[in-house]
A = this chain, B = another copy of it.
């Protein structure tokens, strides 16, 4: 029994798994029983071999010429991703992004249930947003500890994020989903997952204008700029 303790599934794989899960649920809805990597690859425009490797990481097995049993894959994905049982989470920052996240009902199907929100603003405290109570930030640490909350979501302005993170860690929170554009400093054993929209935006806009400004290395100050008004001729 060479049980390799854990072999660190690559992050790119982790991020593809929900795509598979979503598509497979669609297939289940139309009563498909089997699915092949070819099917998935065609739908998601991914290499079938890569999908096969990803599913191998998850631990599901298929049969030649048939593919995978649909129910097995869905089941395996949910087990692997920890979506079988729901974890309670606290959200801090009842602003517009926080409110948006509080409204994401599907999170509960993905193992995440936001049970309460916290804020400093007295006009928000005591209200409900999408059915979730907004509590004063001062109660965060104590409540997190008493309720054994493991996941915290930060949607406060950048300047306040570190302070909130400290409160979360003090309350025993083990994973932080951080929407504030700052790098948090936390104890080693705490997982921080940054959702930095500015970083995403950078990737997008750079790709959009890549062909126009690409030849820019070195300090030549100016590359030829054909101008945005004249795209691919």
Q: Residues of A at under 8 Å CB distance from B?
A: 3-7, 9, 11, 14-19, 22, 32-34, 43-45, 57-61, 63, 66, 69, 72, 79-83, 87, 95-97, 99-101, 103-104, 106-107, 110-112, 148, 150-151, 174-175, 177, 181-183, 189, 191, 193, 195-211, 213-220, 223, 226, 228-233
Contacts and interface: CB of A to CB of B under 8 A. Distances in A.
A81 B202 contact: yes
Contacts of A16: 199
- Number of copies of this kind of chain in the complex: 2
A7 to B, nearest CB: 8
A81 B9 CA distance: 31
A5 B214 contact: yes
A203 B22 contact: no
Contact of A151 (B4, B208, B216): B208
A86 to B, nearest CB: 10
Contacts of A103: 95-96
Contact of A213 (B63, B82, B148, B177): B82
Nearest to A43: B183
Contact of A15 (B18, B44, B203): B203
A175 B204 contact: yes
A216 B77 CA distance: 11
